[in-house]
Amino acid sequence: KTNLLTLADGQKMPQEGFGLYKVSGQSTISSAINSAYDAGYRLFDTAQLYKNEAEVGQALTDLNVSREELFVTTKVAEENQGYQKTIAAVKDSLHKLQLDYVNLLMIHWPIKRAFFDSWTALEELKKAGLTKSIGVSNYQVIHLQYLATQAHEMPVVNQVERHPRLNQAPLVKFDTDHQIITQAWSPLGRGTILNDPVLMAIGAHHHKSAAQVILRWQLQSGVAFIPKSVHKSRIRQNTDIYGFSLSDHEMAQINQLNDFHRTGKEPALVYEYNKKW
Active site residues: 50
Among 72, 94, 211, 254, binds ligand A2P (CB under 6 A): 211
* Binding-site residues for substrate: 108
Among 127, 231, 265, 275, binds ligand A2P (CB under 6 A): 231
* Binding-site residues: 108
Asked if residue 182 lies in contact with residue 133, where contact means CB atoms within 8 angstroms, the answer is: no
> 238: number of CA atoms within 13 Å, CB side?
29
> Could you tell me the smallest distance in angstroms from the CB atom of residue 113 to ligand A2P?
28
- CA atoms of 86 and 138, how far apart (whole Å): 17
19 in contact with ligand A2P (CB under 6 A): yes
Residue 10, phi-psi category: left (phi > 0), alpha (psi -120 to 50), beta (remainder): left
Among 35, 93, 103, 186, binds ligand A2P (CB under 6 A): 186
191 in contact with ligand A2P (CB under 6 A): yes
188 in contact with ligand A2P (CB under 6 A): yes
238 in contact with ligand A2P (CB under 6 A): yes
Among 234, 240, 251, 253, binds ligand A2P (CB under 6 A): 234
Q: Between 115 and 225, whose beta carbon lies closer to ligand A2P? A: 225
Residue 17, phi-psi category: left (phi > 0), alpha (psi -120 to 50), beta (remainder): beta
> Could you tell me the smallest distance in angstroms from the CB atom of residue 17 to ligand A2P?
11
Give the amino acid at 251: M
Residues 63-90: b if buried by 16+ CB within 10 A, e if exposed: beeeeeebbbbbbbbbebbbbebbbebb
Interacting residues toward ligand A2P by CB under 6 A: 19, 186-191, 194, 209, 211, 227-231, 234, 237-238
